[in-house]
Amino acid sequence: MSLSELKLKFYFFRQRIYRLFWTKKQIELEAQKKRAKDMTNSEIREKVRGYFYKFRFLQEIIDNAGLNEGSKILDIGCGIKTVLHFLPGSVKIGVDSLADEYRKIYNYPQDITIERSFGEKLRFEDDFFDVVFMTNALDHTINPKAVISEVSRVLESGGYFVLANELVKRDFKRDKAHPNNLEEKDILGLLSGKFDIIFKKYSPWFGLRQYYLGILKEEDFENENQITILAQKT
């Protein structure tokens, strides 16, 4: 095992210990600090792009949703490595409860606007966006049902919702940053009545940072614990 792998393993071990005592905000902010530094590296940024295309089916989403230079796109729970880095659009807005802190540690591209907001109550007018993304964020929210209602409200009629999330059994114990465990039936239930499913695809779930640092093993790719759904507002 290389020195860099040992350091990373120690980092994740230390994080598990800290998470026993930290608040939800502390957990999420600490996780993003390393990512902010990573995203200044062009090679890592390209690996993140590759991850979105390979494991979150970004090209199929772009083609099906007709994303182009004129698209208005929202990313809820955007974090540092927002998919907005890799999309065309005239309006590209990311919202996150920790946006103020993120802007202090990371310089987003000029065509991306980052705002502090909660998915349960968005400031945008009805029917404003063409596409809304939510990547590994729904299980971080306090009220997933309210979030999905807001997504439906701010999307134009016929607009698209892209939801990617880890699938976790309800009785699985997690940290404070993940107040909701979501199985596939839970997610589909939240979308029912508001969206038609265009496609749902499965991919392996593992830490994105572990992926772009290249320390995963072959067996890490064998699960299908991540779901990506493209849905259209009814």
- pTM (predicted TM-score): 0.86
How do residues 45-84 score in pLDDT, each as one tens digit? 999 999 999 999 999 999 999 999 999 999 999 999 999 9
87-92 mean pLDDT? 98
The confidence score (pLDDT) of residue 7 equals 57
User: Which tokens in the block code for residue 130?
Assistant: 């063409």
CB count, 10 Å around CB of 88? 13
Domain coordinates in residue numbering, the chain: 24-233
173-188 mean pLDDT? 80
User: Which tokens in the block code for residue 44?
Assistant: 């890592």
The confidence score (pLDDT) of residue 3 equals 60
pLDDT at 189 over 60: yes
How do residues 1-41 score in pLDDT, each as one tens digit? 566 556 555 555 555 555 555 576 667 777 788 889 999 99
Q: Provide the CB-side half-sphere exposure for 24 (13 A, CA).
A: 12
Distance, first Cα to last Cα, the chain: 52
Classified as helix, coil or strand, 131 is strand
Cα(221)–Cα(62) distance, integer angstroms: 24
Q: Look up the CATH architecture of domain 24-233.
A: 3-Layer(aba) Sandwich (3.40)
Percent of the chain with pLDDT over 70: 86
Q: What is the mean pLDDT of the chain?
A: 89
